[in-house]
Structure 1
Amino acid sequence: MMNVLSTLITPEKGGKQPVYLQIANQLMSLIKNGTLQSGYRLLSTRQLATILKVHRRTVVQAYDELLAQGWLESQTGNGTFVARNLPDLRPLPLPVEKAADRDPLKKAGFQFEKPVHLDRPVLKAGFRLHLDDGFPDPRLAPLEDLSRAYRSQLLHGNSYTRLGYGETSGTNWLRQELSTHLNETRGLKTSPANILITRGMIMGMYLAVTSLLKPGDCVISASPGWFGASMNFTQAGANVHYLPVDEHGMDVDAVEEVCLKQPVRMVYITSHHQYPTAVALRPDRRIKLLKLAEKYGFVIFEDDYDYDFHYLSKPLLPLFGADQAGMVLYCGSFTKTISPAFRIGYLVGPEDVIAHLASLRRIIDRQGDTMLENAIAELLQAGVIQRHLRKSVRVYKQRRDLFCDLLKTELSDHVSFDIPDGGMAVWTCFDPKIDIARLAERAAQKDLYFSNGKVAGYPPKFRNYIRLGFASSNPDELEESVKIIKDLL
Structure 2
Amino acid sequence: MSSPVQVPFLSFIQLDRNSKTPIYLQLAQQLINAIQRGYLLPGSKIPGSRALSELLQLHRKTVIAAYEDLHHQGWIAIKPNKGAYVMDHQRKTTERPYDALVSLSSYPSQTGYHFKQSNVLDNPFELSSCIYQFNDGSADIRLTPIKQLSGLYSATLKRKSTLRTLSNPLQASEYVKEQLSNYLNSSRGLHIAKNNLLVTRSTEMSLYVVAKLIIAPKDVVIVGELSLFTANMIFHEVGAYVQTLGVDEQGIDVDQLAVKLKTTKIRAVYITPHHHYPTTVSLSAQRRVQLLQLAQTYGFIIIEDDYDYDFQYEKSTIMPLASADVNGMVIYVGSFGKSLAPSFSSGFVVAPKNFIDEMQKYLSILDGQGDVVMEQVLAEMIAEGDMHRHLKKSLKVYQERRENCCKVIEALFGNKVSFTPPKGGLALWLRWNIPVSLMQLSKICKQHQLFIPKNILYQNKKTTAMRIGFGHLTTEEMENSLKIMHQALAKIGTTQK
Q: Which residue of 2 aligns with 1:25?
A: 29
CA–CA separation in structure 2 for the residues paired with 1:295 and 1:356: 25
Which digits, 9 at most, give the CA deviation of each residue in 1:75-96, with x for residues without a partner?
Answer: 3553321111263556889xx9
Unaligned regions of 5+ residues in structure 2, if any? 490-497
Post-superposition offset of 1:131: 2.3
Match status 1:136 vs 2:139: yes
Change (3 A) 1:299 1:409: same
Correspondence for 1:81 among 58, 81, 85 = 85
Q: Are the aligned partners of 1:226 and 1:456 in contact in 2 as well (CA < 8 Å)?
A: no
| Farther off after superposition, 206-215 or 153-162 | 153-162
Post-superposition offset of 1:71: 2.3
- 1:394 maps to a residue whose letter is K
Post-superposition offset of 1:240: 2.0
CA–CA separation in structure 2 for the residues paired with 1:106 and 1:51: 29
- 2:485 maps to a residue whose letter is I
Q: Which residue of 2 aligns with 1:163?
A: 166
Change (3 A) 1:50 1:199: same
Q: How does 1:287-366 map to 2 (within 5 A)?
A: 287-334=289-336, 336-366=338-368
Aligned residues: 479
Post-superposition offset of 1:112: 3.0
Correspondence for 1:58 among 36, 39, 62 = 62
Post-superposition offset of 1:25: 2.5
Q: Are the aligned partners of 1:407 and 1:482 in contact in 2 as well (CA < 8 Å)?
A: yes
CA–CA separation in structure 2 for the residues paired with 1:362 and 1:182: 24
- 1:148 maps to a residue whose letter is G
Q: Which residue of 2 aligns with 1:119?
A: 122
Q: Which residue of 2 aligns with 1:151?
A: 154
User: What TM-score do you get using the length of structure 1 for normalisation?
Assistant: 0.91
Match status 1:252 vs 2:254: yes
Q: How does 1:228-243 map to 2 (within 5 A)?
A: 228-243=230-245
RMSD: 2.6
CA–CA separation in structure 2 for the residues paired with 1:433 and 1:354: 49
Change (3 A) 1:39 1:370: same
Q: Which residue of 2 aligns with 1:434?
A: 436
Post-superposition offset of 1:372: 0.8
Q: Helix, strand or coil for the counterpart of 2:239? A: coil
Post-superposition offset of 1:108: 2.0
Q: Helix, strand or coil for the counterpart of 2:303? A: strand
Q: Helix, strand or coil for the counterpart of 2:343? A: coil
Post-superposition offset of 1:413: 4.5
Correspondence for 1:449 among 426, 434, 451 = 451
Unaligned regions of 5+ residues in structure 1, if any? none
CA–CA separation in structure 2 for the residues paired with 1:15 and 1:378: 45
CA–CA separation in structure 1 for the residues paired with 2:330 and 2:18: 63
Which digits, 9 at most, give the CA deviation of each residue in 1:329-358, with x for residues without a partner?
Answer: 111113632122335111111111111111
Match status 1:105 vs 2:108: yes
Percent of aligned pairs sharing the same letter: 35
Q: Are the aligned partners of 1:194 and 1:354 in contact in 2 as well (CA < 8 Å)?
A: yes
Post-superposition offset of 1:129: 1.6
Q: Helix, strand or coil for the counterpart of 1:472? A: coil
Q: Are the aligned partners of 2:10 and 2:56 in contact in 1 as well (CA < 8 Å)?
A: no
User: What TM-score do you get using the length of structure 2 for normalisation?
Assistant: 0.89
Q: Are the aligned partners of 1:31 and 1:89 in contact in 2 as well (CA < 8 Å)?
A: no
Change (3 A) 1:135 1:72: same
Q: Are the aligned partners of 1:33 and 1:90 in contact in 2 as well (CA < 8 Å)?
A: no
- 1:36 maps to a residue whose letter is L
Post-superposition offset of 1:281: 0.7
